[in-house]
Each structure stands twice: as C-alpha cells, then as structure tokens.
Amino acid sequence: MTFPEKLKYYRNRANLSQEELADKAGLPHLMYGKYERGQAEPGVFKAAAIAKALNVALDVLVSDTQPEEPKFAPETLSLVQEIEGLPSNLQKTVREIVAIMERDWKVQEALKGKSR
C-alpha cells in the first residue's frame, strides 16, 4: 500500500475528513490533499504530525507494511480521540464515569446469574 493510500485508509478509519485531519495535524487543508493524492510528500516533521493525528506510529505510516486491522470499531477510536482532546480533569471524569458504569454492569450480570 502506498503512502497516499495509507493516509486515506487511516483517515477513513479515524472517521475524519481531509480538513479535520489537516487541522488536527496543523497543516494547510490544500497541502494535506496533495499528500493524499500523491502530488506531494511531507517532510519528516509533517509526516510525524499526521501520524500523531491519526494515532498511528510513523513507521507504520511510511513503511511498506500493510495496515493493521483495527482492534476497535472506528466509532470507538473516534470517541477515544475526542476524549484525549479534553482537558486532563475532564478526561479523569470520563474515566471515572466509565468505571462506575462497568462496575454497575458487572453487578447486574452477577445478579442475573444468581437468579437463573
């Protein structure tokens, strides 16, 4: 898979438009479009910014290897990226809420098991 193909693959996997990814990576929209169309190649610092925005390692993005299949649904990855963009105090609150919900779910599942 070529570098431009990987850009498009990982951008789509992250549920981002070209404009959203360019903003996230701190790049001009038109320049990012050229990278994805293979009309230009970014330097190492710009490629690193793109990789970070896509939440993939730079070597995965620029190597000849095939993309790894996502371990999570794209919607889940997108949600995690949104949470990572929150201030640290709000990230902590989200983690606490998720932990409470998980604990409640486990209790409900255990109660269901006892009633069978």
DSSP 8-state class, residue 27: -
To 5 degrees, how large is the angle CA 56–CA 8–CA 25?
A: 55
- Choose between 34 and 64: higher pLDDT: 34
pTM over 0.85, yes/no = no
Q: How far is CA 108 from the centre of its chain?
A: 31
Q: How many CB atoms lie within 10 A of CB 36?
A: 19
pLDDT digits (tens, 9 = 90+) for 40-98: 999 999 999 999 999 888 998 888 877 766 677 778 878 888 888 889 999 999 999 99
What does the pLDDT read at residue 80?
A: 84
Question: Which of helix, strand or coil describes residue 35?
Answer: helix
pLDDT-derived band at 115 (thresholds 50, 70, 90) equals: low
Architecture, CATH, for domain 3-62: Orthogonal Bundle (1.10)
- Choose between 115 and 43: higher pLDDT: 43
Domain ranges of the chain: 3-62, 74-115
Distance, in Å, from the CA atom of 12 to the CA atom of 109, rounded to the nearest integer, reads 35
